Structure 1
Amino acid sequence: MRTFRSPARNPWSGRQIAAAGHEIGNHSYTHRRLVFVTPATVREEVEKTDKQIRATGFSGAITFRPPYGKKLYGLPRYLASHDRITVMWDVEPDSEGPRTREAIVEETVSRVHPGSIILLHVMYSSGRESISAIPEISQRLQGQGYRFVTVSQLLATPCR
């Protein structure tokens, strides 16, 4: 799932991503922590980004990933009242300072389990390392029998 804080910054890219059939999730408009904010702030952060996502041509369900993974009463309440799904992650190998490609690969492969969601921050200073780690992560996990699916496919998979 590709998340957008503001597809308006690069609408052409958003349209390309949607046209290629990828899922697009909401990550808020300003990327602020949505805790201890008013209900109006939560609504504005979600709805402004939803509008921009729809402008890309994406017509699927828009899931929400909270900035920094922070969620407290107001955000979950808003999302639940609008039948929205919150998507979190359980493997985040590149967030703690500069990491080498090898370290990103090893941490990812060692922490993944069935149903894992891997979060990579390709926009950070270590982004090149994260991007270069993807082929080996993919190869090694597929070699262990894993397959990569969209968030919608993952959510539709019955728990075992």
Structure 2
Amino acid sequence: MVMRRLLTVGLVVLGLGGGLLGLYTLGNSRTTQLFGEIFARVETSKPLVALTFDDGPTVRFTQDVLDMLKEHDAPATFFLTGKEMQENPAQTRAIVEAGHQVGNHSYSHARMLLTGPATVADEIERTDAAIRAAGYQGEIDFRPPYGKKLVTLPWYMSQNNRKTITWDIEPESYPDIAGNADAMAAHVLEKAQNGSIILLHVMYRSGEASRAAVPKIVQGLRQRGFEFVTVSQLLASRSEEAP
């Protein structure tokens, strides 16, 4: 009954004329959702950017990424899955102890477009519990798997005063540069602006080029005058500028 009511609300908001195309566009939008706050970039006059990583943690690559960030003194935000955190608790604690922000990327990394309310709550709350079990005390932001959301997920987020975090720069989404660290770094340097949220996938073997791009991105953006902050710090910069 709840799911049917939410879908009805969504269709009314969209307007019947939008049809399936409207639903598809809304479900994939990085900047728009039916309920609650969503951020693909933060409006700020300060030269701040957030480097974010999705998925993991993994035994093989977590420490390599942490060592790289430590070497370049760069904070990051890790959107982790609950299942992988439970499988790799030591790596989760290592991220927390290194001082990075930890975000919620669902438990199973399933597409949450037509998921029922109980499943949405379970996916998010089980992951929250794994994050807290690792000792993380900060606010937990959420990023939907594949960036997909429609009605029930945004409704849950709004009812629980949670923020949805997407991104405005994802070099891996361009097949012609995705396997080339230099090309990906150049793309980020070209596209970055105040408040940008950069997305990379660095936790698996397939992310070799993305891992190699990280120091190039950090060094290049710093040369352009940008400062790296976590997503929470980036969001806080809004209130600091409020009149």
| TM-score with structure 2 setting the length | 0.63
**Runs of 5+ consecutive residues of structure 1 not aligned to the other structure:** none
1:138 maps to 218
Distance in 1 (CA, whole Å) between partners of 2:165 and 2:100 is: 16
User: What percentage of residue pairs aligned between the two structures are identical?
Assistant: 47
Query: Residue 119 of structure 1: which of 199, 220, 225 is its match?
Result: 199
The letter for the 1-side match of 2:118 is: A
CA deviation string 1:90-122 (max 9, x = no partner): 100013444211111111111111100100011
Q: CA deviation at 1:64?
A: 0.1
Distance in 2 (CA, whole Å) between partners of 1:19 and 1:69 is: 27
Range with bigger deviation, 50-59 or 16-25? 16-25
1:30 maps to 108
Greater share of helix residues, 1 or 2? 2
Distance in 2 (CA, whole Å) between partners of 1:149 and 1:123 is: 20
1:108 maps to 188
Q: CA deviation at 1:153?
A: 0.7
Distance in 1 (CA, whole Å) between partners of 2:127 and 2:86 is: 9
* Aligned length in residues: 160
Query: Residue 95 of structure 2: which of 13, 17, 30 is its match?
Result: 17
Distance in 2 (CA, whole Å) between partners of 1:130 and 1:118 is: 12
Contact kept? 2:105, 2:142, Cα under 8 Å:
yes
Query: Residue 2 of structure 1: which of 56, 74, 78 is its match?
Result: 78
Distance in 1 (CA, whole Å) between partners of 2:88 and 2:205 is: 21
- State how 1:93-104 maps to structure 2 within 5 Å: 93-97=171-175, 98-104=178-184
- Give the CA RMSD over aligned residues: 1.5
**Runs of 5+ consecutive residues of structure 2 not aligned to the other structure:** 1-76
1:52 maps to 130
CA deviation string 1:31-62 (max 9, x = no partner): 01111110001001001111111100001111
Q: CA deviation at 1:125?
A: 5.1
Q: Over alpha carbons, which structure has the higher Rg?
A: 2
Distance in 1 (CA, whole Å) between partners of 2:188 and 2:182 is: 10
Q: CA deviation at 1:126?
A: 4.3
The letter for the 2-side match of 1:140 is: G
Greater share of strand residues, 1 or 2? 2
